[in-house]
Structure 1
């Protein structure tokens, strides 16, 4: 065997080995690229799912927020309507006249008189416009006198030093009690669903 043949054999072996290394490298590179593409696809899929979850969460939050805002607006509107109804009733109470006003005032005064003993000096306060009416009614009560005005829609505030009692039996206080006791029913009737 000649030296040239040995050199040629070594070259061929080196080329073959280089070819194998190149083939192995290309094969390994293809595996790495394939794995990277697979990982990239998986990462992309996870990112898509995360984006979808975030979109759904945001949608739910906004929807929930919108529902809450709508509910608050409805409650506010109901409060406004109830306030208007209350004001209207108060205006009608203040506008009562004649026999109806006298009858209600007498009833309220009679209910308060049960709180006082005979012989007590009783002072009665009422709406400024009702002074004449109150003075007329008080003529039927011994020891009772009109003592001045009280800011109210009508009715009476009665007090006595002897009994140390003060009774507020105004249209306002009666209306407030009735309103509070029946507010749910009033609301249900106004806003039937």
Structure 2
């Protein structure tokens, strides 16, 4: 074998080896590229799922927030209507006149008088517009006297120094009790659904 033949054999062997290495490299590169594409597809799908989840979560939060805001606005509107109804009732009670006002005032005074013993000096207060009415009614009660004004819609505040008792039987206090006791029913009637 000549030197040229040996060189040629080595060269062919080196080319063959280089071709094998190149083929192996290409195959490995294809494997890496394929794995990278699969990873990229998986990452993309995961990111899309995450974005969809976040969008849905944001949609739910906004919907929940909108529902809460609408509920608060409904409640505020109901409170406003109830307040208007209350003011209207107070106005109508304050405007009661004649026999109706006298009868209610007498009833409230009678209910208050059970708290006081006979012979006590009893002071009765009422709204300034009812002074004449109260003075007239008190003529029938021994030891009772009109003692001055009380800021109210009507009715009486009765007290005695001897027993240290004070009874608030004003239209306001009765209205407050009736309003509180019947608020649910009032609301249901106003806002039937």
Judge same fold: TM > 0.5, yes or no.
yes
Aligned-partner Cα distance in 1 for 2:75–2:61: 21
Secondary structure class of the residue paired with 2:116 = coil
Q: Which runs of 4+ in 1 moved over 4 A?
A: none
Alignment match, 1:79 = 79
Alignment match, 2:131 = 131
Alignment match, 1:52 = 52
Give the deviation of 1:163 after TM superposition.
1.3
Aligned-partner Cα distance in 2 for 1:150–1:162: 21
RMSD between superposed Cα atoms in Å: 0.4
Q: How does 1:33-182 map to 2 (within 5 A)?
A: 33-182=33-182
Give the deviation of 1:159 after TM superposition.
0.1
Gap runs ≥5 in structure 1: none
Gap runs ≥5 in structure 2: none
Aligned-partner Cα distance in 2 for 1:124–1:93: 20
What is the TM-score normalised by the length of structure 2?
A: 0.99
Cα offsets for 1:132-159 (capped at 9, x unmatched): 0000000000000000000000000000
Cα offsets for 1:89-130 (capped at 9, x unmatched): 000000000010000000000100110000000000000000
Aligned-partner Cα distance in 2 for 1:164–1:38: 91
Alignment match, 1:31 = 31
Secondary structure class of the residue paired with 1:129 = helix
Secondary structure class of the residue paired with 1:162 = coil
The number of residue pairs the alignment matches comes to 193
What is the TM-score normalised by the length of structure 1?
A: 0.99
Aligned-partner Cα distance in 2 for 1:120–1:77: 50
Aligned-partner Cα distance in 2 for 1:26–1:109: 109
